[in-house]
Structure 1
Amino acid sequence: MNTSRSRTTWRPGVVLVVALVSVLAAACSSSGTSGEADDELKIIVPSAPASWDTRQTASQTLAAQLLVNEPLMTYQSDGSVVPNLASSATNPSRTVYEYTLRKGVTFSDGSPLTVDDVKFSYELHSADDSTSYTAAAWSQVDSIEISGTDKIVITLAAPDPQFRYTIAKVGIVSKAYYEKHGDTVGTPDVPQIGTGPYVFDRFAPQSKTTLVANADYRGDPPRFSSITMEVAKDDAARVVALQTGEFDGVVNPPLSQIGSFEDLDGFTGQEASDLAIYRVNFDTEKPPFDDVHVRRAIMHAINRPALVDGVFGGRAALASTLVPEPIMAAAGDPTEVKQAYAALESGLAFDLDAARAELAQSSRPDGFAVEIPVDQGDPSQSLIAQTMGQDLAEIGVTVKVKALDQQGHGNAVYFKHTADGLSVDSWNGGTPDPLNIPKNVLTPGLFGNAARYDNSEVTALLSDYQKLDIEDPTRVPVLMEALSTTATDLPMVPLLTPKVYAFFRDGMALEDFDTFWYMTRWTENLTS
């Protein structure tokens, strides 16, 4: 659900969902340079939040949130972050971040932006009892202080190379607005307000959101007069929406549907590698999944290569562990990483005889029945669970698949742990750092830890990695040791890492499209 992905972020269902946007052909022709907004933009998205409260958004939903609630710093496609609501940013040390607030900024209701609003916004996520999807990203924060009338100073308990991305993913909200409306902020009757180029107009929870241009925005006029983001009712509706011309594009369609979109006339696709992983989670606090022999039996009974080919049509790669190999190789020695990943992959072999042998040693040698919850917003999860069920039946494990909406899946798997103990999900990284996914899904107490896994050795290794300088050559070996230990304990089975796609009207493209496009000011990057 990571962002910390994230995160960090949670990407519900697809949960990081990464994609591209498309626009009306008419909008292309005017290109937004005349000082007036283009026509409206309508896109199909994979999911929508239950509320636009800043604590309940992460990953791809930030594509809308950050157009309304601007961050102090904005992410750039080259991996850097640049001042936005901040006029300047400095790092006196590896644990201190100082931001000076831009002057003369107002919220869409006309009230001035102050450092009190910034402090309040950050404390919504950093508080000990915060329910924020990105609370994990704030776990190292020791203090958030105001200095003078225009500076915010954040001190971390320990260095965190990912923290600069955290600032770029958290939009600033109005303290006074929250104090007036409380937990109703972000609901259809109390739309969120911000300082950005757009304001919330209409919102149907988990279904549809419409933004309209903020006529009083301090910067250049917004590119579009309105932006509508809607969740398709089902796979067929996703294709029909483009065929009929009702919508202008689809972002992050299920990989099982890519062939259908490739066959559409008048639309062009873009492809990028995703920092995400599909996985099987074992709730280690619930029998029989507290038994490592049961976990190993299920692992050996999952035909992962068949999932890549059958469910994803080859548009994915086997995941040997939580971090995609190219991400780890970019941070360390590629040869050493390749060897380590080959060793991890060998331990995930599909072997029904080994699966039966493990189950025979377990607390359930005669098998059992289990219900697997999946997020209905991500059809791939259901296909994975159904395919798994066919394999698990061979060793005496009977599977029933239950599709839930985003909130129901979140409660069953992450928050209330009401599921039987076996689940399928997708988790995306909320920052380019290799630590992002492991930190969020292996740290005790974080909601991304669907397995409720708790190994003090792994926790210490993740902490050690975080403290090391980004150029330190020992960083990757430390993280690989944590991942290897986790592989032995097997609180989850890494399945695959997908590619991400988007299809939009011919002639349009998003410059420098990558997995973190939603953190950028993406409406300004659309070209024709």
Structure 2
Amino acid sequence: MTSVRTPLLRAAVAFACAAAVSAPALASDLRIGVASEATSIDPHFHNLGPNNQVASQIFDRLINQGDRQQLQPGLAVSWKPIDNTTWEFKLREGVTFHDGSPFTADDVLCTFARAPEVPNSPASFSTYIKGKTFKKVDDFTVHVTTDEPYPTMANDLSVIPVISDEVGCGATTADFNDGKAAMGTGPFKFVEYVPGDRIVLAANEDYWGGRPEWDKVTIKPIKAGPSRVAALLAGDVDMISGVPTTDIGTLKETKGIVLSQGVSNRVIYLHVDQFREDSPFVKANGGGDIKNPLLDQKVRLAISKAISRELIRDRVMEGLSIPAGQLLPDGFFGVSDKLKPEAYDPEGAKALLAEAGVPDGFELTIHGPNDRYINDAKIVEGIAQMLTRVGIKTKVETMPRSVYFKRASTGGEGGLPEFSLILVGWGAGSGEASSPLRSLIATYDKEKGMGAANRGRHSDAKVDELVEQALKTVDDGKRAALLAEATERAMANLAIIPIHYQVNTWASREGIVYTPRSDEYTLAHYARSQ
């Protein structure tokens, strides 16, 4: 078994286990307990892992992604550039939506018109769509044009769920949530959505990829880790995601339980307010006003040096995380071989604070979710303690993600990000480095669709230039080098402060095997009975 502390752990690791669990015979129904609940059935409302996870079971994409995010034919059977600025997509014929209506190029065009424009979206898919023009050639051929060569076209279009022109493209988010518009072409049909309680799906008998194994799938959000484990052991669910790190050892020894683990592409990181001189949650010692010290690269570096990623791994994550020095772990396209996690150096952090003119530190509040990432609230608390030790007196405020992300994105004055220092995670939807670079690091530009999740509003024209150049460089080697250079520059300037990459664990009843995915999705069609 490959150690979970190495970044090259890729495949499922199954553990056969040794005490007793009462287990009724497997049925054709699958009940899944998930750690994070989707906030909508609308596949374009929020580019968020739990939402995308549900959407992937109801809706297909033009190009689907395998367990390591390798590109696979979906609603497009082939794709290729036909000149320097045009890609041609040949669509799959004979596919029907869940209501029986046929899939054609019209559905593709309306999908990509709607996806970046959903009202009140906390984080849209605009990054992947802006700058592209979609043209119907015939019912099963679509051309996508850009102003300049665009080699990552297939990666971009592999993240957008395709909806029905007939019932979906003119629908509201509420129409999807009550099922009226939730007509996809995916392996499962929408049956029911009860927020806070369950999402129920049924097998799509006519799925072009073959009928799924499970007749009925019930996805139950169970926020508390111990409650998810208890539900599995009691037989209330058949599989759970997000196994708490503290329970993994016990479950390994439990007869009738199988664990599967895999390294995620998700980096857990800090976004830092880099655009306001008066940052709302930064104060001088004693509570007075102070010019935002987070604008200073030396202060951001001090924060990074004050954090022991190894201590977080060992004490908070029970060994199940990989300290991070950049946006993606080793093995993904566009990562740099020059970047390492920042070494823990509290004395160096204090020296940097002195150099930055705040030798006695300052007061700060760190915000984070308490129900989104593995041990997220504990990580926030641990970071606060470490910062306090070097003189940055840090308070903690965590909240449910349903409140957190909206405030973090638009909760401030004038619709700006509200917080000063936040814990967030990002999984590269396209499976390569341009995804986090465009979304987290690039200068926020709504019109260009860049920096859509740049809640710290970091801005570096040189990084923008490198990313834009990479996005139009056809040669893979040159493009990878440009992405690596952009990453190196962003990390040197502490555009974000990476903490670690998650290692994810699923547990299932004996007789069900789950194939882990690097995007962390829990998908019913990746669970197989034995």
Q: Normalising by structure 1, report the TM-score.
A: 0.82
Match of 2:501 in 1: 497
Which residue of 358, 364, 370 corresponds with 2:352? 358
CA contact (8 A) 2:168 2:181 kept: no
Match of 1:291 in 2: 296
Task: Tell me whether 1:481 sits opposite 2:470 in the alignment.
Answer: no
CA contact (8 A) 1:372 1:419 kept: no
After superposition, the Cα gap between the structure-2 partners of 1:57 and 1:225, relative to the gap in structure 1 and judged at 3 Å, is: farther
Aligned-pair distance for 1:114?
Answer: 3.2
Aligned-pair distance for 1:456?
Answer: 0.3
CA distance in 2, matches of 1:425, 1:179: 31
Q: Greater share of helix residues, 1 or 2? A: 1
Which residue of 458, 471, 475 corresponds with 2:476? 471
Measured against aligned partners, the alpha-carbon deviations of 1:151-201 in whole angstroms (never above 9, x if no partner) come to 221113334443313333322212232465434232236452222332212
Aligned-pair distance for 1:217?
Answer: 4.9
After superposition, the Cα gap between the structure-2 partners of 1:383 and 1:79, relative to the gap in structure 1 and judged at 3 Å, is: closer
Aligned-pair distance for 1:117?
Answer: 1.7
CA distance in 1, matches of 2:73, 2:140: 14
CA contact (8 A) 1:281 1:492 kept: yes
CA distance in 1, matches of 2:259, 2:147: 44
Name the amino acid aligned to 1:421. Answer: S
Match of 1:71 in 2: 61
CA distance in 1, matches of 2:193, 2:50: 17
After superposition, the Cα gap between the structure-2 partners of 1:234 and 1:173, relative to the gap in structure 1 and judged at 3 Å, is: same
Match of 2:528 in 1: 526
Name the amino acid aligned to 2:29. Answer: E
After superposition, the Cα gap between the structure-2 partners of 1:278 and 1:57, relative to the gap in structure 1 and judged at 3 Å, is: closer
Secondary structure, counterpart of 2:363 in structure 1:
strand
How many residue pairs get aligned? The number is: 485
Secondary structure, counterpart of 2:332 in structure 1:
helix
Match of 1:441 in 2: 440
CA distance in 2, matches of 1:352, 1:376: 27
Aligned-pair distance for 1:148?
Answer: 2.7
CA distance in 2, matches of 1:190, 1:464: 42
Measured against aligned partners, the alpha-carbon deviations of 1:466-511 in whole angstroms (never above 9, x if no partner) come to 2223433x44443333223223321321111222221112233245
After superposition, the Cα gap between the structure-2 partners of 1:318 and 1:403, relative to the gap in structure 1 and judged at 3 Å, is: same
Match of 2:381 in 1: 386
Name the amino acid aligned to 2:408. Answer: V
CA distance in 2, matches of 1:107, 1:435: 32
Name the amino acid aligned to 1:321. Answer: Q
CA distance in 1, matches of 2:174, 2:49: 22
Name the amino acid aligned to 1:341. Answer: L
CA contact (8 A) 1:373 1:401 kept: yes
Match of 2:241 in 1: 251
Aligned-pair distance for 1:517?
Answer: 7.4
After superposition, the Cα gap between the structure-2 partners of 1:507 and 1:291, relative to the gap in structure 1 and judged at 3 Å, is: same
Measured against aligned partners, the alpha-carbon deviations of 1:95-131 in whole angstroms (never above 9, x if no partner) come to 4222233344332233333322211111223569994
Name the amino acid aligned to 2:163. Answer: V
Name the amino acid aligned to 1:479. Answer: L
Q: Which runs of 5+ in 1 are unaligned?
A: 1-17, 29-37
Measured against aligned partners, the alpha-carbon deviations of 1:3-50 in whole angstroms (never above 9, x if no partner) come to xxxxxxxxxxxxxxx9999xx97786xxxxxxxxx6211111122222
Measured against aligned partners, the alpha-carbon deviations of 1:276-303 in whole angstroms (never above 9, x if no partner) come to 2111111112332223343233222212
CA contact (8 A) 2:68 2:518 kept: no
CA contact (8 A) 2:324 2:499 kept: yes
CA distance in 2, matches of 1:155, 1:470: 19
CA contact (8 A) 2:512 2:527 kept: no
Match of 1:341 in 2: 339
CA distance in 2, matches of 1:507, 1:128: 41
Match of 2:431 in 1: 432
Which residue of 444, 455, 461 corresponds with 1:456? 461
The percentage of counterpart residues that share the same residue type is 22
CA contact (8 A) 1:26 1:39 kept: no
Aligned-pair distance for 1:219?
Answer: 6.2
CA distance in 2, matches of 1:191, 1:432: 29
CA distance in 2, matches of 1:48, 1:238: 13
Match of 2:125 in 1: 134
After superposition, the Cα gap between the structure-2 partners of 1:358 and 1:518, relative to the gap in structure 1 and judged at 3 Å, is: closer
CA distance in 1, matches of 2:68, 2:304: 38
After superposition, the Cα gap between the structure-2 partners of 1:414 and 1:127, relative to the gap in structure 1 and judged at 3 Å, is: same
Aligned-pair distance for 1:379?
Answer: 4.8
Which residue of 357, 362, 371 corresponds with 1:368? 362
CA distance in 1, matches of 2:511, 2:309: 37
Name the amino acid aligned to 1:133. Answer: S
Task: Tell me whether 1:509 sits opposite 2:509 in the alignment.
Answer: no
Task: Tell me whether 1:304 sits opposite 2:309 in the alignment.
Answer: yes
Secondary structure, counterpart of 1:253 in structure 2:
coil
After superposition, the Cα gap between the structure-2 partners of 1:455 and 1:250, relative to the gap in structure 1 and judged at 3 Å, is: same
Secondary structure, counterpart of 1:238 in structure 2:
helix
Match of 1:209 in 2: 199
After superposition, the Cα gap between the structure-2 partners of 1:496 and 1:94, relative to the gap in structure 1 and judged at 3 Å, is: farther
Match of 2:86 in 1: 96
Which residue of 407, 412, 423 corresponds with 2:407? 412
Which residue of 311, 321, 325 corresponds with 2:326? 321
Name the amino acid aligned to 1:515. Answer: S
CA distance in 2, matches of 1:467, 1:181: 34
Name the amino acid aligned to 2:388. Answer: A
After superposition, the Cα gap between the structure-2 partners of 1:260 and 1:444, relative to the gap in structure 1 and judged at 3 Å, is: farther
CA contact (8 A) 1:20 1:502 kept: no
Name the amino acid aligned to 1:176. Answer: E
Aligned-pair distance for 1:424?
Answer: 0.8
Match of 2:136 in 1: 146
Name the amino acid aligned to 1:102. Answer: R
Aligned-pair distance for 1:234?
Answer: 1.2
After superposition, the Cα gap between the structure-2 partners of 1:475 and 1:87, relative to the gap in structure 1 and judged at 3 Å, is: closer
Q: Normalising by structure 2, report the TM-score.
A: 0.82
Name the amino acid aligned to 2:498. Answer: P
CA contact (8 A) 1:320 1:341 kept: yes
After superposition, the Cα gap between the structure-2 partners of 1:373 and 1:191, relative to the gap in structure 1 and judged at 3 Å, is: farther
CA contact (8 A) 1:415 1:447 kept: no
CA distance in 2, matches of 1:525, 1:306: 34
Task: Tell me whether 1:86 sits opposite 2:76 in the alignment.
Answer: yes
Q: Which runs of 5+ in 2 are unaligned?
A: 1-10, 15-21, 280-291, 445-450
CA contact (8 A) 2:242 2:374 kept: no
Of structures 1 and 2, the one scoring higher in RCO (CA 8 A, sep 6+) is 1
After superposition, the Cα gap between the structure-2 partners of 1:97 and 1:360, relative to the gap in structure 1 and judged at 3 Å, is: same
After superposition, the Cα gap between the structure-2 partners of 1:79 and 1:92, relative to the gap in structure 1 and judged at 3 Å, is: farther
Aligned-pair distance for 1:269?
Answer: 1.2
